Amino acid sequence: MNPSNYKILVTGGTGYIGSHTSVKLLQEGFSIVLIDNLSNSSINVLNRIKELTNINFDFIEGDIRDKRLLRRIFKEHKFDAVIHFAGLKAVKESEEKPLNYFENNISGSIVLLNEMDRANVNCLVFSSSATVYGEPSETKCSEDSQLCPKNIYGQTKLIIEEILTSLKKIQPKWKIVNLRYFNPIGAHPSGLIGEDPNGEPNNLMPYISQVAIGKRDKLFIFGDDYNTTDGSGKRDYIHIQDLADGHIATLKKLLQGSPLKININLGTGKSYSVFEVINAFEKASSKTIPFEIISRREGDVGEIYADITYANDNLDWSPKFDINDMCKDAWRWQSKNPNGYNE
Ligand code: NAD
Ligand code: UDP
């Protein structure tokens, strides 16, 4: 296939995963248009993407719930596919503001799908999440494991998955994949783009990075009494560059018309404990990460990791980076950009 024949709309394109995937899309030769309302990302991302790729692309500042705007964009551009990252993702906030999450994530996706359909664009890669598994009975999750999200955020992902599954079943013209990401961490190896959370980070890696750079005194470890190798929680961390590659691989297969299962896990198939991540980060940064062990975080599971057999066998993709690479790149990004994109 020749990517330069294809134009892709990337929703949430200035966000953490969207920006890394956009760089890869441009480097592969795809034409792209990004839309983002900048509710959780910075306009400065655009210059960084340009600096990395030297390739021009369009950016539209706007909301995917704005039907008129989407209609105009789909009129102006002849898209072949959409990669849909736009959405809210903070678990705790989703419990505090459930209607915001239903509106942004679910209604936003429905507006997008309607406008895609009107414009005859029926190829979609959707950002789902391992949170749809909730507390699985086995620690290793395959796409067929039981689904039982434990919070509103995860519920929005499952509802969108179900809508997309029904749509594809009833109207086979739709080519759709829901990518269930495990724990994306790390940054582009250039240190030019990375994860830049607003306020206090909810996730482990940005929290550790901010302790290392001196923004926070210590890491709070949420429990050391799980039934895991060292008692702390274990997760399947995947390098953001591998995750971005997973999108390119999926998109190419869909555009070529290869039949794919609708739900696909993207992880590494290995899990690391909080203590193992701290050790790897200390090695990568030559910094000490002070920590305090506190009680478990509500809704957390002890261990979960991905069965990635299907992705390995069907996407021409496999993860290349290990936990040391992830920590090295996360630290390069943090140390080069102590205040994230706020230069
Ligand atoms: P992010 O917050 O960095 O990126 C999402 C982007 O979408 C942001 O730039 C935000 O401004 C934008 N956005 C939000 N609502 C919008 C709307 N209504 N209209 C237009 N733009 C809007 O998050 P991310 O980590 O890059 O995640 C991307 C997607 O992947 C999200 O859907 C998220 O739920 C999903 N996901 C993320 C993770 C993770 O750990 N990062 C894991 C699993 C799934
Ligand atoms: N974690 C922690 N302290 C933090 C953030 C996370 O101990 O400040 C733990 C958390 O309990 C889990 C792991 O680190 O075992 C990964 O958490 P994260 O929020 O990054 O991912 P998720 O739990 O959503 O998979």
Number of domains, the chain: 1
Residue 89 lies in a domain: yes
Which residue has the least CA distance to atom 17 on ligand 1? 63
- The 10s digit of each residue's pLDDT in 44-69 is 999 999 999 999 999 999 999 999 99
**Structural domain contains residue 231:** no
Q: Specify if 331 maps to a domain.
A: no
CA 225 to ligand 1 center in whole angstroms: 32
**Which pLDDT does position 135 carry in this prediction?**
86
Is residue 336 included in any domain, yes or no?
Answer: no
CATH code of residue 169: 3.40.50.720
Residue of 35, 85, 131 with the most ligand 1 atoms within 8 Å of its CB, for mutation: 85
Residue 104 within any structural domain of the chain: yes
Backbone φ/ψ region at 197: left (φ over 0), alpha (ψ -120 to 50), beta: beta
Question: What is the number of alpha carbons within 13 Å of residue 305 lying toward its C-beta?
Answer: 15
Look at ligand 1, atom 28, and give the residue with the nearest C-alpha: 85
Is residue 180 assigned to a domain?
yes
Ligand 1 centroid–CA 227 distance in Å is 31
- Could you tell me what percent of the chain has a pLDDT over 90? 97
Nearest bound ligand to CA 185?
A: 1
Whole-number Å distance, alpha carbon 247 to ligand 1 midpoint, is 15
Q: Is the dihedral of CA 326, 332, 333, 339 positive or negative?
A: positive
Which residues are designated catalytic? Answer: 153
Residue 193 lies in a domain: no
Is there an atom of ligand 1 within 6 Å of 89 CB?
yes
Taking the CA atoms of residue 138, residue 143, residue 149 and residue 155 in that order, the dihedral angle to the nearest 10 degrees is 180
CB 47 within 8 A of CB 337: no
Answer yes or no: is 328 within a domain.
no
Contact status, residue 141 vs residue 96, Cβ threshold 8 Å: no
Which range marks the domain in which residue 111 is found?
A: 3-185+237-267+305-319
User: Tens digit of pLDDT per residue, the chain (343 long)?
Assistant: 899 999 999 999 999 999 999 999 999 999 999 999 999 999 999 999 999 999 999 999 999 999 999 999 999 999 999 999 999 999 999 999 999 999 999 999 999 999 999 999 999 999 999 999 998 889 999 999 999 999 999 999 999 999 999 999 999 999 999 999 999 999 999 999 999 998 899 999 999 999 999 999 999 999 999 999 999 999 999 999 999 999 999 999 999 999 999 999 999 999 999 999 999 999 999 999 999 999 999 889 999 999 999 999 999 999 999 999 999 999 999 999 999 999 7
The predicted structure's pLDDT at residue 299: 84
